[in-house]
Structure 1
Amino acid sequence: MSQKKEVLILCTGNSCRSIMAEALVNAKLGECVHAQSSGVKASGKVNPHAQALLQKKGYWRDEYHSKVIETVLDTPFDLVVTVCDAAKETCPVFAKAVKTLHVGFEDPSGKEEAEYKKTLNLIEKELLPIIKQELCNEQKSK
């Protein structure tokens, strides 16, 4: 069995979008990718609406939490994805990162519950295929 690829989902606060993306990637692409998330200016807490939605969908794991970027800087990531424009601007240079991509999503924080679902669906529809193509398909290629 081949080693799982490592992806970092980077946001500013690491409380909502990046946590949702981390949970989705691990739930849907877990056979080939291990996702972690972090924040350039991590808030230190997970948005309760995002957490409730992930729990309802069965994607939540207790180890998910808001982390500062320093905790993951030494991880040899295969891919770093920024999911908000601010993180893209301030994305640190990862010594061991192979590639950095930006796929932006609007922050649903402070909005109605439907906005969280919309963001989660967008992440699944737009980000997962990119990560899958980047990190999962190469094992199958000739």
Structure 2
Amino acid sequence: MTITTSSPTRIAGRSRLAVVGLTAVTSVAWWVVLTKVFGIDLAAKQGSIIQVGAISVLVAAIAMAFAGWALLAILEHNTLAARRAWTITASICCVLSLGSPLSGGIGTGAKLGLASLHLLVGTVVILGLRRTALSTAARCTPSGISK
């Protein structure tokens, strides 16, 4: 057994932070396309009628990306098949999140637009964070030790 001093090839925090940034940028860009290019009024009824603006989209996208990051970190710490468990759990959450825009959106355009925002954020977070997940072998091998 030989102890090596090589540094890790992947820095999870930086890659995951890039996923958060990408999620924020793509969600706001899609909001601009929906509202400014297609002219869709993204209004929803949640108690009262609300207009879904760029700031709301940005904050929600960032919050969901960080929540996904936290869940993945917890699963990596507590389970062997974290990547698989996270992907399944996040996919189920993404599908279930469609209930809100499809039931609360005012008008077909708003319902479809809000649902597309949910799917966009979900897809970027799921695929992006899945890519950063450490494999079981990488987590189960003591770092710095090679055979």
Decide: shared fold, TM above 0.5.
Answer: no
Larger relative strand fraction: 1
Q: Could you state the TM-score of these two structures normalised by the residue count of structure 2?
A: 0.24
